[in-house]
Amino acid sequence: MIGKVFAGIATAGVLAGVLATGAMAAPAATASANPTKTQRPAAKDVFGGTVTAISATQLTVKNAKAGSKTFLRTDATVVVKGRNEKAGWSEIEVNSHVGVRFEERDGKLYAKRIRIGRAHVAGKVESVNGNVITIRTRDGKDVKLTVNGSTKYFEIVGKHQRKSGSLNDIKAGMRLSAAGSYDASHNFDAATVAYRNK
C-alpha cells in the first residue's frame, strides 16, 4: 500500500523535490537538444535517490530501480540545496532525497556535487493530536509529523490522480507519506502530506 501511496505522491508535489535534486532535471534538459548523445552521459555520472547512510567521508544513496551506490567525499565535493544555495555536508540527512554528480576512478565513485532535496517518510497513522501526526513506519519506528498552516495535503484518489485535502481528513489506521525535513529533536516538519482515505 505504501508503494502505491508513493506512486501517487509523485504528482502531489514530492516529484518536484526529486526534480530539485537535479538527478532527473539534467537528462531532461539535454534530451531536447540531442537525446541520443547527451542523455547517456548524464545518466552515467548522475545518481538520484534516498540517503540510507552517511559518515564524515562517504554517502550511500539508494535508488528504487538502480540499487545503492556509495560515494566518497573529497575536498572538492560541493553541497547545495534549494536554488543552488551553498550547504554543508552536515546538512545531508538519512532519508533525504539527493542528486549526486560523480566521477569514477579506480573502481570508486567520488562525489563532485550533491544537491539536497526533501526528506520523505511513510507509514500508518497511529494518532492525530492537534498539529502532530504520529505514524509507524514499515520498520516499526514511530515518527511524529509536525504540520502547520503552510503544510499542503493531498488525497490520492486513483493512479496519478489526487485532490486537495486537509488535516481533518487524517485518521488513525490510514497510510500516508510526507515530504519535509527533520528538526533538532528528530521530529519531522511536514511540508506536504499525501494519503489514501481508504
The residue extents of the domains of the chain are 15-118, 119-195
Those residues with Cβ within 8 angstroms of residue 46's Cβ, 6 or more apart along the chain or in another chain: 22, 23, 26, 27, 99, 100, 101, 102
Is the Cα torsion angle 7, 9, 14, 15 positive or negative in sign? positive
Q: Enter the pTM of the model.
A: 0.54
Tell me which residue of 132, 142, 141 sits closest to 193, measured CA to CA: 132
CATH class, range 15-118: mainly beta
The span from the CA of 53 to the CA of 61, in Å, is: 7
> Which superfamily does 119-195 belong to?
Nucleic acid-binding proteins (2.40.50.140)
Q: What pLDDT, on a 0 to 100 scale, did the predictor assign at position 39? A: 37
Q: What pLDDT, on a 0 to 100 scale, did the predictor assign at position 130? A: 94
The span from the CA of 175 to the CA of 122, in Å, is: 8
Q: What pLDDT, on a 0 to 100 scale, did the predictor assign at position 193? A: 95
Q: What pLDDT, on a 0 to 100 scale, did the predictor assign at position 82? A: 74
Tell me which residue of 154, 119, 151 sits closest to 137, measured CA to CA: 119
Tell me which residue of 184, 173, 166, 167 sits closest to 135, measured CA to CA: 173
Same fold, 15-118 and 119-195: yes
Map grid coordinates 526529486 to a residue: 18
| pLDDT averaged over 10-residue windows placed end to end, the chain, 198 residues | 43 38 37 41 74 95 90 96 86 87 94 89 94 92 91 88 91 92 79 86
